[in-house]
Chains A and B, each alone.
Chain A
């Protein structure tokens, strides 16, 4: 069975600090997808990134960057120069590609990030 662990329940930083959100996953599949979603206080889930298991290249999008390491089953998310608007709950999720799974998402418990001015 697949599992996603976000060990950090809450993180609090001061604006302009860099912050890394950890995500460790477990799966028996060799083909799978990893995701990060942002959930601001308003409740909606915002899709940030999808990464497939065969692509270990790190990705950067503005202040956001992701570090995917299959060797340690981790898919960490770093926000550079954090801003107050980054305050939200961030979820890491895993989708297996095995037959019959329908590519369902398994979410981690989320990390509440608070960026203070």
Chain B
């Protein structure tokens, strides 16, 4: 149980394009989803917290207009990297949580490479 699917797993695109990453909870309803960014050999840094039906809460230093988050249903959240540039290249991971005190279950991550 508690499977989170993240798609796509790998994206390579040109600078200036926008990229959308999907995060789905397959067998549970996720009241809250989280988006993380991980640089090579570093830890996970929380970018934003997303509650279904409300605006995402971004961490300090994360550009809201750059990283658009939508959590339209209890099973789907999306992260759109707008006008992506090479410095946005990273490993993006989502997680989903069914209850407030429950553990976060992570997707397999998306490797984003901007040329």
Interface residues of A (CB under 8 A from B): 33, 35, 37, 42-47, 50, 91, 97, 102-105, 107-110, 112
Q: Name the contact of A43 in the complex, choosing from B43, B57, B91, B100 (C-beta under 8 A).
A: B91
Q: How many A-B residue pairs have CB under 8 A?
A: 48
Known A-B contacts A91-B43, A91-B44; A44 and B106 likewise in contact (beta carbons under 8 Å): yes
Known A-B contacts A33-B101, A102-B32, A103-B100; A47 and B106 likewise in contact (beta carbons under 8 Å): yes
A sample of 11 more A-B contacts (CB under 8 A), given A44-B107, A105-B44, A110-B43, is A33-B101, A42-B108, A44-B108, A44-B109, A45-B44, A45-B109, A47-B103, A91-B43, A103-B97, A107-B43, A107-B44
Q: For the complex, is B105 an interface residue (Cβ under 8 Å from A)? A: yes
A32 smallest CB distance to B (angstroms): 11
- State how many residues of chain B have any CB contact under 8 Å with chain A: 23
Q: For the complex, is B49 an interface residue (Cβ under 8 Å from A)? A: yes
**Complex: A105 Cα to B96 Cα, angstroms:** 12
Residues from chain A with a CB closer than 8 A to the CB of B42 are 109-110
Q: For the complex, is B111 an interface residue (Cβ under 8 Å from A)? A: yes
A100 smallest CB distance to B (angstroms): 10
Are B103 and A43 in contact (CB-based, < 8 A)?
A: no
A38 smallest CB distance to B (angstroms): 11
Residues from chain B with a CB closer than 8 A to the CB of A91 are 43-44
Do most interface residues of chain B lie in helix, strand or loop, or is the interface mixed? strand
Residues from chain B with a CB closer than 8 A to the CB of A102 are 32, 49, 57
B110 smallest CB distance to A (angstroms): 9
Are B43 and A50 in contact (CB-based, < 8 A)?
A: no
Are B101 and A103 in contact (CB-based, < 8 A)?
A: yes
Q: Name the contact of A45 in the complex, choosing from B41, B57, B93, B100 (C-beta under 8 A).
A: B93
Residues from chain B with a CB closer than 8 A to the CB of A97 are 101
Residues from chain B with a CB closer than 8 A to the CB of A43 are 91, 93, 108-109, 111
Q: For the complex, is B19 an interface residue (Cβ under 8 Å from A)? A: no
Residues from chain A with a CB closer than 8 A to the CB of B111 are 43
**Complex: A76 Cα to B56 Cα, angstroms:** 33
